[in-house]
Structure formats: C-alpha cells, structure tokens
Structure 1
Amino acid sequence: MKKDVDDELYWIEALREGDDQALAYFFKLHSKALAYFAGRMLHDKIEADDIVSKCFLKLWQKHESFKTPQNIKAFLYISCRNSCLDYLASLKVRTNAQDSYLQHLNSADETILYDIIQTEVLDMVNKEIEELPEKMKVIFKLLYFDGKTTAEIAQELNLSVQTVRNQKTKAIEMIKNSLVKKGVSVTLQLAFLFFIEHW
C-alpha cells in the first residue's frame, strides 16, 4: 500500500503489522485531545498525561486487534475514561472538584459523552484556528485561550474595540464554513457554536 501520511487506513494497517511509526501517528493524532479529556476529569495535569501515555501503551499491546480508525479512537477514550475513574476512586483524599466529578459520573454517563464531544470540538477548533489569517488568529487566541475581553485586546494590540469584534465574528464564520466544507456533522457544528458562546 502506498504510504500517505494523512491516510488513516494506511496507518491502521501499519499498526496491525507492528510499525511503531503508526503508534507515533495515532499518538500525535489523539494525545492532545485525550490529555484535555483526562485533565477535565482529574484536575491533575501530571496524572492526566501519565494516564494518556498508559492508554497508548495498551493500544500498542493490542495493536493487532484494530480494524478502523474509529476502533482506535473508541478504545483510547474508553481506556482513558476507565483509568481516570479508577484513579479518582483510589484517591483517599480528593479535591472538591474531583469528588463532585466522581459522584456525578457514578449516576450519569452523559457527562462523559459531553466531555468527549467538547474534546472533539476543541481539537477541531484548534486545527481551524491555526488556518486563520495571522491577526485574526492572535485575536481569537487572546479571546478564547487567554480569556481576555475585547477591550483588553483592543488596548494590547492598539486596535479599536469594533475591529476586535469584527475579527472575532469573521473568525467564527470562517471556522464554521470550514467545518461545513469538511463535512463535519451538524451535531459537531452546533457543538462548536455552543462551545464558542459558553467558552
């Protein structure tokens, strides 16, 4: 099969054959989103990163078992979720956030589904942001990653507040249009809009 660095089907076959470059490919593809996912559950970045690393070790140990990219993604999220729950349950002393999260998870799987969707949306948004024009990208990151207000950004970049607002609106429209062109499901498009409004 011809090698294509963007062809997940190629990398699935390579993984099944024990090619460690395929493991590196899937690590690059999913590790950032999984770390965010685990971090939301644990409120402990170091432990979250450790759990994500162990999930990829489990993936490698079962490398012959996977037939589709969706199998791999599902395996990673389920492994990550279970490891996070085991870790939270094992803690003798938990923070209020960890304790609340664990109690809520015991009664509702919807929280996990919401976090997976939010993780997927964040991962998509990150990729789309990098494609924005430079000034727009800077403004968008200051707004949504650094949590700055339009007034603060206007002052920092020596722009008018209206310019910042216009750039934000154009960025959201460009990202939304890009998601549509890439065939992203309506559900995730709506999740993106919800995410932007409540970020």
Structure 2
Amino acid sequence: MTSTQAIEERALLTAFQSGDSMAFDKIFRLYHAALVFFANRLIISYDQIDAQEIVLDVFLKLHERKESFESFNSIKAFLYISTKNSCFKAIDKEKVRLKRIDGYTSAFNESDENNILSQIVLSEVHRELYQALELLPQQCRIIMQQLMEGKTPKEVSEELDISVSTINSQKARAISILKKRLSGAGLVFLLLQL
C-alpha cells in the first residue's frame, strides 16, 4: 500500500469515526456491491433470503460501532465477517421455516382424506358458532367473545366496568340462547372454548 493510500484511508477512518456522513457514504459505495455479491454467493440456494437487506443491516451495524474501529482494514474485515455471519444466521432461519412448512404439509397429506375431512368439519363447526354468536344481544356477544378469547370473568368485568356476577349471568344467558341455535357439535365446541 502506498503512503498516499494509507493517508487517505486514515483520513476516511477519522472522518467516519467522527460521524461524517460523506465518509460513511464513501465506505458504503466502496463495499456495498462487493458485499451484495458475496452474500448472494453464500445464500445462492435460498431465494427467500434477500442479500441486499442483509448487507444494509451490516452497514447499519457498522455505523452504530463507528468509534470502535482501529484501522480501515478492521472496517473491511468487520463488513465481510458480519455479512458472512448474517447470511449463515438467515440460512439457519430459512431452514427452520422450510422444516415447519414441510411438517405442516406432511400433516395435511392429500392421501390422508380423514384428516382433511375432520379439519373441514371443525372449520364448519367454528363458523356455525361464530354465526350464532353474532345473533346474540350486544352485551352477551361482547362478553362471550372475550371469554372465548381466554379472559377470565374478572378480567372481562374490569375491562367492561361491570360486576363479575353480571358477567356470569350474561354468560349463562348466552349459553341458553346458543343451546337452541347450535348443533350438538357446535355446542360442544362452544363449551370447549370456555
């Protein structure tokens, strides 16, 4: 390296460390394209991972740590090592995502007609229940929806500013109305939700 280049790099490093946006921009322009190319080479078989996004995150980390670099070469090393590590982390996340998708699709294998039919039946029971809930008087409906979300009668009473006994009586009223409107499966589903 020539002494002129060393002086220029030292000046660029000093300006970058002091927060000069022009210095950061110059470093960005020097390495951005090469880092995107590098990241694309590492993630070549994972088209869901965006190399551009990874590199931009690395530059953000570089900017956040600008005072910690002792030389221009340490900036270059940081950029490449961080890009490599971020790519490997993204690949690991993508592998987990793909494994989940494989597990999900294998659970709904087309040849397993019974599983699909049971999911359809469950979805229809769910639809029946929520249609019946919409026909309840407003206060009953609001209370039942919150109870079905997993809230306790005490939590619902505090949120709606009514007594717990009112919550319980509205719940009983709603169940009584829903018994008349729901099929046996719908009623069982309702009770399981509560």
Instruction: With the length of structure 1 as denominator, give the TM-score of the two structures.
Output: 0.42
Q: Which has the larger radius of gyration?
A: 2
